[in-house]
Amino acid sequence: MTGPWDAGLQPERTELAWRRTVLAVTGGTVLAGRYLGAGDPVLGLALPVLALLGGLALLHAGTVRFRRLGANLRAAGSAPAGPVMPGAAMLGALTAMCLAIGVASAVFVVAAAVPDAP
C-alpha cells in the first residue's frame, strides 16, 4: 500500500454517497416546504426555494470538504502525524436540515388533524 487509503477510490465513493444523501434530503425538504406553504402563495414559493438553496450550499460544502480531505490524505502520505479529516460543519448542517424536515412534517400532520375552531 502506497498511501493511507485503498486502491478502491474510497474518498470518491464516500463523496458520492454524501451527494446522494444531500440530494435526497433536499428533495424531501423541497416537498415539505411546498406542502407547508400550499395555503399561501408566498410561502409556497419561498420555502421550497430556501430548501433548494440550502441543498445547493450543502452540495458545495461537501465538494469542498472531500477535495480537502483528498488533498490532506495525499499530503500526509502513509503515516499521518495527526488527524486529516476536515471539520464536521457539513454533518451539522445536514442534521439541521433533517430536523427541519421532521419538525415541519410533525407540524403539518398535527395541523391537518386538528379541526378548525368555529
User: Residue range 11-16: average pLDDT?
Assistant: 79
The residue range of the domain holding 15 is 10-113
Query: Taking 70 as the threshold, does the pLDDT of residue 17 lie above it?
Result: yes
CA angle 13, 99, 46 (to 5 degrees): 95
Is 36 a domain residue? yes
Is 70 a domain residue? yes
Question: For residue 6, what pLDDT is reported?
Answer: 58
Question: For residue 85, what pLDDT is reported?
Answer: 61
Question: For residue 55, what pLDDT is reported?
Answer: 86
Give the model confidence (pLDDT) of 69-103 as tens digits.
777 777 766 665 555 565 677 778 778 878 887 88
Is 67 a domain residue? yes
Is 103 a domain residue? yes
Give the model confidence (pLDDT) of 28-70 as tens digits.
888 878 887 778 788 788 888 888 898 888 888 888 877 877 7
Is 107 a domain residue? yes
Is 24 a domain residue? yes
pTM, two decimals, is: 0.63
Question: For residue 41, what pLDDT is reported?
Answer: 82
Residue 12 is placed in which grid cell? 470518491
- Split into its structural domains, the chain has a count of 1
Is 62 a domain residue? yes
Mean of pLDDT over the chain: 77
Is 31 a domain residue? yes
